[in-house]
Amino acid sequence: MNALSLAAGVLPDCQPEQVADAAAKAGYELAGFTIEPEGWTSSRTLKLRSRLSSLGVQVLDVEVIWIPQGGLLDDSHRLIVDVGAQLGASNVLVVSREPDVDRNAAALHQLCEWAEPAGMRVALEFLKIAQVSAFSTAHAIVQRCDHPAAAILIDPLHLQRAGEGYKPLAAVDPHLFPYAQFCDGNLDCEPIFEAYLEDALDLRSPAGHGQLPLREILSCLPKNCPLSLEVRSKKLRDEYPDPADRAAAVLQQTRAYLSQVTTS
């Protein structure tokens, strides 16, 4: 079965240290962490790394680097990469406010140069609330970037909203998918920014509890591709106020879905 990671988005009300604790208590071996550069210190990185080691939790990804309009990166972007490297993260998640393919490719190449010495991949995510909003655009940027660390992050919800379907995934090099996000959700969404935002932040559901073509998406990804369980859900936040209970519910329901898929 795919390795499953607690995505930071499941616990948006928690700090990284709380995410680490919840992941361990809920039974995850992997987790992802949101790194806010403002006020982040090297001491905090060392303490978090020690905590993760004692809990037996490894880091699948750190997030989120927003490529700014104009494509010029600064120390705050570098800090997220550096923290990821020190935590032993496998990936760093990137989205973009820049519409130009060439400027995005240049910024992505710089991020890859920073990340590659630590063995990290730089995964560009496409979503309707960003300028890079479709798989085809993300793929063009990664091709233009031309760096072995560059990758594409697939999120079933954003893939559905992009309107390109899952079939194009099978036509590209599977090396571009070092991991993927995983969730379920509504099949349709009103095509306006506010609806896309609410859809992404509040209306997701665990695998098997929505209408997205998850089985077909999985078939296009590398076998045993690690899955970050990006189940941002107001319903789950209300139902499970305790972070570990919420994380456990997401893990249990995803495991049940994957067991059903692999045995059917």
Domain definitions of the chain by residue range: 4-263
* Statement: the pTM of the whole predicted model exceeds 0.75: yes
Instruction: Give me the average pLDDT of each 10-residue run along the chain (264 residues).
Output: 95 97 98 97 98 98 98 98 98 98 98 98 97 97 97 98 94 96 96 96 97 96 96 97 98 96 75
Contact 59, 52 (CB under 8 A): yes
What confidence score (pLDDT) does residue 264 get? 65
The secondary structure element, H or E, covering residue 96 is strand 91-96
Bond into 64 cis (ω within 30): yes
The continuous run of DSSP H or E covering 135 comes out as helix 135-145
Element spanning 92, H or E? strand 91-96
* Domain at 4-263, CATH from 3.20.20.150, 3.90.550.10, 3.20.20.70, 3.40.50.2300: 3.20.20.150
Question: Nearest-CA neighbor of 181 among 127, 143, 234?
Answer: 127
